[in-house]
Amino acid sequence: MPPIPRSTPEIVETSLTGLGLLNTPIFNKGTAFTEEERDEFSLHGLLPPQIGTLDQQVARRLKAFRSQPDAFSKYTFMRDLQDVNETLFYALITRNVEEMLPVVYTPAVGEGCQRFSEIWRKPRGVFLSYPNQDRIERILNHPRYDGVRCIVVSDGERILGLGDQGAGGMGIPIGKLALYTALAGIHPLSCLPVFLDVGTDNEERRNDPLYLGWKHERVRGPEYDNFVDRFVRAVKKRWPHVLLQWEDFAGANAGKLLEKYRNQLPSFNDDIQGTAAVALSTVLAAANATGMPLREHRFLFVGFGAAGCGIASFLELALKHAGLSDEEARSRFYAIDRPGLLMDSTPGMHPSQQPFARKASETESWQHMPDGGVSLLETVERVRPTVMIGVSGQPGAFSEEVVRAMAKHVERPVILPLSNPTSRAEATPHDLIHWTDGKAIIGTGSPYAPVEYNGQTYRTVQTNNSYIFPGLALGIVAARARRVSDGMIMAAAEALAAMSPTVKNASAPLLPPLDTLREVSWNVAVAVAREAEKEGLTALRGADLEASLHATIWEPVYLPFKRRRG
């Protein structure tokens, strides 16, 4: 692939001087300010005399990073660096993606959210609390936010698999947007993390004297809906075409909010659509690895909330594209949730679950649990799924008995324990390799070390949403898309699948190496923007669309400074 063109300007103009300049993360160059710049911006005496380079600073910070004793210490190290020098922060990530990704985002961000109040030091993003709802418009109207083009917003109720973390959930929008920039090149000043603080039902957080959020039970019902609506109306008024990504909302709200607002602003929910896209790409790659066409696979979901339903919906579309009828495609799915196998007789199903429920009559001869439900093990024995996808957040849900039963009937079982962080994974690669005698094709939601088994090394691909959402965001923002269609999400998934090493080698890893994520994001962005053009969702066409993609890319490099006077 040819080098991706960059839009980074050739010079920076600012009226900031001295400590004001050094304390502005997007402008701070630290020891890399030249002698002339130190004269011009009154920096002499505030910096050591040695003039350095970005390369030297990266090497120094990488050494310090690697000296940290554990993942959480590395996470706090990187958060501090982001608040001091953003160019250095992003240069460090982009040059060491595979090493940095698990720290800047999952799984380390999980503990970062749990301990957010403990490590908070400097303002980043916007906290909109329920008691301040009358001030939302005034807060967002500040000139510091004039350049915003994309927002990631959360209310902290369902942080990864850790549940309600209250204000600690701000760690998720901060982390997501860091990857918008590091992996897709969206300018840091274009990105705004937002946290909607409607309280928390986590008593440990509320009772913690250090907790920074609103110490109140979580607001629900019409009051919650009205608060979110006030936020969206203020966003639309301030930035009529901004990208709004919903993140880590509880299942009951996630789908509802996406459907309500996706046609009012270009919006997507990464937990639903991003997870679905990367899972679809992984399954398409796994089909290459198994040698079995996608249309012949049988899919079993363990956990069927918003993420599970989203994955199933996109897989269903892919099966239809592969030539199956609606009925044939739907017949390939089985879903396990809290009551066991979802059937048309299962009470209390969410509308998004109902289309995938099996007819109870199909299971008349099956073994039933005392409450009348059908267990995961019984479903595996009867259905003989070829693909098992875990989005339950229940550690150990893929038990040895279940996995061995699956492997007994399938030559190359595809097993995807996607819940994260690692403490919530349905199974570990180590166990899956041993329980299937090395036959399993595995994708996980969090990173794992290689597994040694029978003299062979097995490397597990992390089906991280970062393969999709940064490039998806870049494509949407660059195209100035009016909304985010299912076709654009599918285009993102297909672009990633086309880059799978299994396209050329069935025994290769399912997804590209993490150190190629910037290239992956670019290809995804191009596919998304072109799909928006195809569907008439952007006013940009042809060369103008391509130019906008190139112009949106920002590169973490130091630029010469010029003093703005007057």
Classify residue 120 as exposed, middle or buried by CB count within 10 Å of its CB (0-12, 13-18, 19+): middle
Residues across the chain: 566
Q: HSE on the CB side for 5, CA within 13 Å? A: 10
d(CA 555, CA 532): 25
d(CA 314, CA 334): 15
What tokens were used for 12? 């920076």
Kind and range of the H or E element at 495?
helix 486-498
Note whether 196 and 173 are within 8 A (CB): no
Closest C-alpha to 111, from 394, 428, 446, 432: 446
CA-only gyration radius of the chain, Å: 24
Instruction: Give the count of beta carbons closer than 10 Å to the beta carbon of residue 538.
Output: 23
d(CA 419, CA 160): 8
Residue 59 C-alpha from the chain's centroid = 28
Which letter, b or e, does each residue of 238-252 get, where b requires 16 or more Cβ atoms within 10 Å of its Cβ? bbeebbbbbbbbbbe
Q: Which residues are catalytic?
A: 105, 176
3-state secondary structure of 302: strand
Note whether 554 and 88 are within 8 A (CB): no
d(CA 220, CA 222): 7
With left for phi above 0 and alpha for psi between -120 and 50, is residue 9 left, alpha or beta? Answer: beta
Note whether 243 and 149 are within 8 A (CB): yes
Note whether 556 and 95 are within 8 A (CB): no
Which letter, b or e, does each residue of 35-73 get, where b requires 16 or more Cβ atoms within 10 Å of its Cβ? eebbeebebeeebeeeebebeebbeebeeebeeeeebbe
**267-269 and 243-246 beta bridge pairing:** parallel
Helix 486-498 and helix 306-321: axis angle, to 10°? 70
Amino acid at 420: N
With left for phi above 0 and alpha for psi between -120 and 50, is residue 284 left, alpha or beta? Answer: alpha
Cα(first)–Cα(last) distance of the chain, in Å? 45
Q: HSE on the CB side for 323, CA within 13 Å? A: 4
User: 232-238: long-range contacts (C-beta < 8 A, 24 or more apart)?
Assistant: 232/261, 232/264, 232/265, 234/136, 234/137, 234/140, 235/140, 235/151, 235/265, 236/264, 236/265, 237/137, 238/137, 238/140, 238/141, 238/145
